[in-house]
Amino acid sequence: MGRQPSSKPTSFDIAYLAGVSQPTVSRALRGSKSVSAATRANIERIARELNYTVDKNASSLRSQRTHTLALLFFEDPTPDESMINPFFLSMLGSITRECARRGYDLLISFQQMHNDWHVAYQDSHRSDGIILLGYGDYQLYLSKLEHLVEMGTKFVRWGSVSEEGIGLTVGSDNVGAGEQAGAHLVEIGRTRIAFLGDASDHAPEFQDRYDGLCRAMRAAGYEPDPALQRDAVSTEDSGYAAANALLASGKPFDAIFAASDLIAIGAMRALTEAGLKLPHDVAIIGFDDIPAASLTSPTLTTVMQDLKGAGPLLVDALLSRIENRAVEQRILPARLIKRQSTAV
Residues interacting with DNA, by CB under 7 A? 7-8, 10-12, 19-24, 26-27, 29-30, 33-36, 38-39, 52, 54-55, 58-59, 61-64
CB of 42 to DNA, least distance (A): 9
- Among DNA, a copy of itself, none, what binds residue 34 when CB lies within 5 to 8 Å by partner kind? DNA
Nearer to DNA by C-beta: 24 or 85?
Answer: 24
> Which of 241, 220, 244 shows the shortest CA–CA distance to 232?
241
Bond preceding residue 224 cis, omega within 30 of 0: no
Q: Residue type for 2, please?
A: G
Question: 321 and 164 in contact (C-beta within 8 Å)?
Answer: no
Q: What's the rounded Cα separation, in Å, for the pair 29 and 295? A: 51
CB of 103 to DNA, least distance (A): 12
Q: Considering beta carbons, is residue 27 or 154 the nearer one to DNA?
A: 27
Q: What are phi and psi of 296, to 5 degrees?
A: -70, 165
Please give the helix or strand (H or E) that residue 147 lies within, else none: helix 138-151
The set of residues, in sequence order, having a beta carbon less than 8 Å from that of 327 and lying 6+ positions away, is 168, 317, 320, 321
Phi, psi of 290, rounded to the nearest 5 degrees: -70, 160
96 binds, among a copy of itself, DNA, none (CB under 5 to 8 A by kind): a copy of itself
**DSSP-derived secondary structure for 157-176:** EES-SSS--SSEEEEE-HHH
| Minimum CB distance to a copy of itself, residue 79 (Å) | 12
Contact 15, 25 (CB under 8 A): yes
Q: At what angle do helices 11-18 and 22-30 cross, to 10 degrees?
A: 100
- Which one of a copy of itself, DNA, none is in contact with 30 (Cβ closer than 5 to 8 A by kind)? DNA
Q: Which is nearer to DNA, 18 or 303 (CB)?
A: 18
Cβ-based nearer residue to DNA, 58 or 295: 58
Contact partner at residue 121 from a copy of itself, DNA, none, CB < 5 to 8 Å by partner kind: a copy of itself
Which CB, 125 or 325, lies closer to DNA? 125
- Which positions touch a copy of itself (CB under 8 A)? 6, 8, 51, 53-58, 60-61, 66, 68, 81-84, 86, 89-94, 96-97, 100, 105-110, 118-119, 121-122, 125-126, 152, 265, 291-292, 295-297, 307-308, 311
Closer by beta carbon to DNA, 23 or else 333: 23
Least distance from DNA to the Cβ atom of residue 101, Å: 20
Whole-number minimum distance, CB 260 to a copy of itself, in Å?
A: 14
Write the DSSP symbol of residue 301. B
Q: Name which of 236, 245, 243, 259 is nearest 181 in CA terms.
A: 259
292 binds, among DNA, a copy of itself, none (CB under 5 to 8 A by kind): a copy of itself
Task: Please state the closest distance from residue 154 (CB atom) to a copy of itself, in A.
Answer: 13
- Quote the CA–CA distance of 133 and 147 in Å, as a whole number: 17
Backbone φ, ψ for residue 339 (5° rounding):
-130, -160
